[in-house]
């Protein structure tokens, strides 16, 4: 993937600080001052943070970056509490210092031309689609965004995205807001309506798989941000196997944190994931 001109390359390991924290539905949004990371960030890359008392690190999707603020460069992450590590993270007050490494992994590739794009995300993992939508809009792409969740509390704010997206569709499994159903139920129709050339997806494997399959049926490209457990996030441990088909057609296992998390949807061996 070509480097953006003027963007410093490679991740950094820094001591960051929680500068804001708020509850949004079922999630906790943290704003972290993290010198060096926002400048290097590209949509789809992620950060790994150290959690007190834990050896493995927690990988977090970045929802938003600001190049400058009263606290210097900051990034917003979305935390869904899933265990004691994420519970610790969600509970940290403003002022907590946290070791952060990032940005990590391969980001979404941006199209060279102003094409039509469908962005499909579910739950907290939809986070990277928001900065992606902004970048695509800057390039003149027509962006259609789909945000999905089991219920309203697990929906990432679709409101913010309205600035960057031409259309926003909300799906909830329980029908509490937006259309009832999940991505697999609606993706073909949404793709047809948006007439997209590229599908970007972020969320659980079932969402990614259905988005990739719909893209293939429609003759569109797809890129998916795959979430597998990443104990280090930095490519050192080989603990994050992602089964893919290589460019050469040969089956292989790559590291989700370095060769991913974003890969072409038609390259993932979903049955082996």
Q: Using CB under 8 A as the criterion, what x/- string covers residues 89-128 for binding another protein? A: ----------x-x---------------------------
Q: Give CA–CA dist 19/169, Å, rounded.
A: 32
Among 192, 237, 246, 269, binds another protein (CB under 8 A): 237
Instruction: Compare residues 180 and 272 and give the one whose CB is closer to another protein.
Output: 272
92 is in an annotated binding site: no
Task: Verify binding: residue 255, ligand FES, rule CB under 6 A.
Answer: yes
Query: Is the CB of 213 or the CB of 253 nearer to another protein?
Result: 253
Close Cβ partners of 75 (under 8 Å, ≥ 6 residues apart): 31, 32, 34, 37, 38, 41, 47, 62, 64, 65, 66, 102
State the residue for tokens 């390359």.
9
- Site for ligand FES (CB under 6 A): which residue of 188, 231, 254, 267? 231
Query: What secondary structure letter does DSSP report for 18?
Result: E
**Alpha carbon separation from 258 to 84, 136, 197, 245 (Å, rounded):** 26, 23, 26, 16
Other C-beta atoms closer than 10 Å to the C-beta of 209 total 19
Among 171, 240, 262, 263, indicate the residue that binds ligand FES (CB under 6 A): 240
Q: How big is the site for another protein, counted in residues (CB under 8 A)?
A: 27
Q: Is 79 annotated as a binding residue?
A: yes
SS3 per-residue string spanning 85-98: HHHHHHHCCCCCEE
Dist. CA 77–CA 85, nearest whole Å: 15
Q: Which of 162, 217, 238, 272 binds ligand FES (CB under 6 A)?
A: 238
Annotation-wise, does 203 bind a ligand? no
Region binding another protein by CB under 8 A among candidate stretches 54-62, 107-115, 161-169, 189-197: 54-62
252 touches ligand FES by CB under 6 A:
no
Which positions from 32 through 61 interact with ligand FES, judged by CB under 6 A? none
- Cβ partners under 8 Å of residue 258, min gap 6: 104, 105, 106, 234, 235
Q: For ligand FES, give the closer residue by CB, 110 or 232.
A: 232
For 61-112, the DSSP string reads EEEEEES--TTSSEEEEEE---SHHHHHHHHPPTT-EEEEEEEESB-PPPPS
Closer CB to ligand FES, residue 31 or residue 234? 234
In the complex, the smallest distance separating the C-beta of residue 152 from another protein, rounded to whole angstroms, is 31
Residue 261 preceded by cis peptide, ω within 30: yes
Binding positions for ligand FES, rule: CB under 6 A: 230-233, 235-240, 255, 257
Binding positions for another protein, rule: CB under 8 A: 10-13, 50, 54-57, 85, 99, 101, 228-229, 231-232, 234-241, 252-253, 258
Residue set of the binding site for [2Fe-2S] cluster? 232, 237, 240, 257
């Amino acid at each position: 993937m070509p480097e953006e001109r003027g963007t410093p390359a490679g991740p950094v390991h820094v001591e960051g600080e929680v500068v804001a924290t708020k509850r949004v539905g079922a999630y906790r949004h943290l704003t972290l001052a993290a010198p060096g990371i926002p400048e290097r960030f590209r949509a789809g890359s992620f950060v790994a943070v150290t959690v007190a008392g834990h050896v493995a690190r927690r990988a977090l999707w970045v929802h938003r970056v600001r190049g400058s603020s009263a606290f210097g460069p900051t990034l917003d992450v979305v935390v869904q509490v899933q265990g004691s590590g994420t519970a610790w993270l969600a509970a940290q007050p403003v002022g907590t210092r946290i070791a952060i490494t990032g940005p990590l992994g391969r980001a979404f590739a941006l199209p060279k031309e102003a094409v039509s794009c469908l962005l499909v995300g579910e739950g907290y993992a939809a986070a990277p689609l928001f900065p992606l939508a902004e970048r695509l809009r800057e390039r003149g792409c027509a962006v259609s965004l789909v945000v999905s969740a089991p219920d309203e509390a697990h929906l990432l704010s679709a409101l913010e995205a309205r600035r960057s997206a031409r259309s926003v569709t909300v799906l909830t499994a329980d029908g509490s807001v937006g259309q009832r159903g999940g991505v697999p139920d609606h993706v073909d129709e949404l793709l047809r309506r948006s007439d997209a050339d590229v599908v970007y997806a972020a969320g659980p494997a079932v969402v990614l798989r259905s988005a990739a399959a719909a893209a293939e049926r429609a003759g569109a490209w797809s890129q998916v941000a795959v979430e597998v457990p990443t104990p280090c996030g930095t490519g050192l441990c080989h603990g994050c196997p992602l089964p893919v088909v290589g460019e050469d057609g040969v089956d292989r296992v790559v590291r989700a944190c370095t060769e991913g998390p974003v890969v072409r949807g038609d390259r993932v061996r979903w049955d082996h994931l």
